[in-house]
Structure formats: structure tokens, C-alpha cells
Amino acid sequence: MRWHYPGLYTVQEPQEGSGVPLFVDSPHSGRDYPADFGSRLSLTDLRAAEDSYMDRVAARAPLAGGVGLWAHFPRAYIDVNRTEADIDPALLAEPWPTPLAPGDKTAMGIGLIRRVTVPGKAIYDRALSVAEVERRIARFHRPYLSAVERGLAKLVRHHGRAVHLNVHSMKSVGNAATPDGAVRRPDVVLGDRFGTSCAPALTALVGEVLAAAGLSVVVNDPYAGAALLARFGAPDQDRHGLQIELNRGLYMTEDTGDVTDGLAELIGVMDGVFETVSERLADPEWPM
């Protein structure tokens, strides 16, 4: 089954009867820029905030018997990996009607509604109305989170558990709006919220497959997982959430946004991750 909601997201399930409790999503690779965005930046500048092409990775999950979900709307418009209250009041033309809880990332300009794509690149030259931010939450943020929630709940219902691989990509070098500053990153950063969003066996297995493919892998530094894992990763409720951040230098030229031959290779490596997790899920006790 495939559910395709133009501008919002696509969910792709495997063939009937071939399913395993694997759910893979790409929340930040959307590139359908809504007409009411009202940004001052060029499309090229806005696209620097995308986890470009990670939808192609999530779309492979059904080949391993898993479910794939990928957003169509861009992260620069609204970030589903932040909570609804994670808003910088300085972006708004008027007071927000309920209490806000802006986090550390929001202070850096990368909250629910981003102030910048990268440092020095302000997205707006205007204040946003409460109504337009509420509309983004109602039309994009909540539906995407509901899709994740429904997908995981369905797998738990059918299989007794769900493994959620939350796929992202990161700049090859950090900057002033990232937690690590201007340093070169490893090939992969796995995030399990310091061992709280999934069983350690899942983090270890995914790390082993990636390392065997020759990639350098670091866990929880500088990315441990954000709002999606915090909400859905609950090993005590048989939902195991792991964030996978892939270095953009592996598959694209970041200045131009052009893909390189590395993309096909990386997709092959991630196919291997999905297949290995899928095979391990034949053990009804895994991952404990």
C-alpha cells in the first residue's frame, strides 16, 4: 500500500504478508516549498537546510519488509523534529496565545520555525503572524507526527514491537548554529538519546553494519536525537527509536546541491542496514 499526499508526505508499505516491524522515516528531505512561505531567501539558500535526498533512503525500507515515510514539505518551513511550543517569540508579530518553551536549538535560530538556514542567512525580513504559524502546525507538523504515531502503533499491534530508524543528513562541517561548531564530522552519527530511545542492541547492530561498510561512526555526539525520538522512542513500550545522521559529504557537493556517485553507494549501504535489522527481527525477542 502507498499513501501519497501531495505537499505533505508519502507512506509506502511492503507487499502484503512480507512485513517486519521496521519503520524508516525521513522528516527533513522535503523540497515542495509552499507558496505562502514568504521567505526573503532564494530557493538555493533555503535548500541548504534540507536533508537532501534522504527520502530516497527511506523509500527503500519496503524492499526489506519495512514501512517508509518521507515528508514533502521543507524543514525550513516547519521542523517536525521540534515540539509545537519550541517557538522563538521574537519571530512573531504578536504574542503566542499559549505558553512557549523555546529550547537551546531555538536560541541558535533552528527551532520549530527557523530564523536562519545557516548563520547569517535570515529566512525572513518580516514578523510572522500567529495565524500562519498555527496553520503550519495544523497542516504539516501534526499530520506528519500522526503518520509516525499511526505507523509505529500498527507495527506494535501486529508484531508486538517496532524499530524506528529516523534518517537525516548533516553538513560535513558544523557551524555556529550547530552544537559542535566548525569541526569536520564523522561519516555517521547515531543517536539513541544516550541509551533511552532504543535497546542498546539496535544501536550496536546498526553501528556494526555501517562500520563494516568502511564508515566512521560516532554515537550521540553531536546529535543524540530530538523531538521525534523523545516522543516515540520508548523501549519499555516496545518502540525502539534510533536516529541516523549521514554526512552530506558522502553523497553530494554541498555548495551546489549536486548529487555525486556516492549517493548510490550510500543507498546500498543503507539497504544493508535495513536488511540486517529486518533479518534480526525474525527473533521475536530482539532487540531487548
Q: Which residues form the interface with Zn ion (CB under 5 A)?
A: 28, 51, 168
59 vs 92, beta carbon nearer Zn ion: 59
Q: How far is the CB of 144 from Zn ion (least distance, A)?
A: 13
Nearest to residue 155, comparing CAs of 258, 240, 280, 228?
A: 240
Judge whether 185 and 158 are in contact, CB under 8 Å: no
- Tell me the residue nearest to Zn ion as measured from the CB: 168
Judge whether 69 and 151 are in contact, CB under 8 Å: yes
114 vs 239, beta carbon nearer Zn ion: 114
Strands 67-71 and 9-12: antiparallel
55 vs 84, beta carbon nearer Zn ion: 55
Q: How far is the CB of 226 from Zn ion (least distance, A)?
A: 8
Q: How far is the CB of 245 from Zn ion (least distance, A)?
A: 7
11 vs 170, beta carbon nearer Zn ion: 170
* 94-130 CB burial, b ≥16 within 10 A, e <16: eeeeeebebbebbebbbbbbbbbbeeebebbeeebee
154 vs 171, beta carbon nearer Zn ion: 171
65 vs 191, beta carbon nearer Zn ion: 191
169 vs 278, beta carbon nearer Zn ion: 169
Rounded to an integer, what distance in angstroms lies between the CA atom of residue 232 and that of residue 237?
A: 10
Judge whether 172 and 249 are in contact, CB under 8 Å: yes
Place of cell 507558496: 35
Rounded to an integer, what distance in angstroms lies between the CA atom of residue 99 and that of residue 115?
A: 19
Q: How far is the CB of 152 from Zn ion (least distance, A)?
A: 19
Q: How far is the CB of 244 from Zn ion (least distance, A)?
A: 10
Residue 170: exposure state from Cβ atoms within 10 A (0-12, 13-18, ≥19): buried
Rounded to an integer, what distance in angstroms lies between the CA atom of residue 224 and that of residue 284?
A: 27
Q: How far is the CB of 17 from Zn ion (least distance, A)?
A: 33
Judge whether 40 and 180 are in contact, CB under 8 Å: no
Nearest to residue 57, comparing CAs of 254, 263, 224?
A: 263
Q: How far is the CB of 28 from Zn ion (least distance, A)?
A: 4
